[in-house]
Amino acid sequence: MSNDLILKYGKRSVSLREGDTVKIVRGAAKGKSGKVLNVDRGRSLVSVEGFTIAKADGTQKERWVRPSNLLITKLNLQDPWRRRKLGLGGVEEKEEVEELESQAEEEGIEGEDSDV
């Protein structure tokens, strides 16, 4: 998780879910950001929006990335179980989270952090 999210939620790591926004920190696509499209828990791989590879026939195919090479910059908080795990609980707290997220977007906070 990015430093901003660690400070906000008090946790260093959470499970990746579809809809999370991540930044690739290692490999050929270092520095690219995108949403998580699929999570394959069996193979421990993740596909990220916009990170594709060209096949021999010219079509594009999603490229799978190991989760250890990703940094979560924005969480998908649609799941009530995940909100409870982060200590965000009920409906009134969901409204607070949405309000905080909208304020962050207005202020231009993108979750960028320095090298750790």
Q: Is residue 100 part of a domain?
A: yes
Q: Is residue 63 part of a domain?
A: yes
E-only strand ranges, 1-116: 21-24, 33-40, 45-54, 60-65, 70-74
Distance from C-alpha of 92 to C-alpha of 98, rounded to nearest angstrom: 10
Q: What is the CATH number of the domain that holds 33?
A: 2.30.30.30
Q: Is residue 114 part of a domain?
A: no
**Contacts for 43 with CB less than 8 Å, ≥ 6 apart:** 64
pLDDT digits (tens, 9 = 90+) for 96-111: 667 777 877 777 655 5
Query: pTM (2 decimals)?
Result: 0.70
- How large is the average pLDDT for residues 80-87? 87
Q: Please state the domain count of the chain.
A: 1
Q: Is residue 113 part of a domain?
A: no
Q: Is residue 16 part of a domain?
A: yes
Q: Is residue 112 part of a domain?
A: no
Q: Which domain holds residue 70?
A: 3-107
pLDDT digits (tens, 9 = 90+) for 31-58: 999 999 999 999 999 999 999 999 999 9
Backbone φ and ψ of 61, nearest 5°: -130, 145
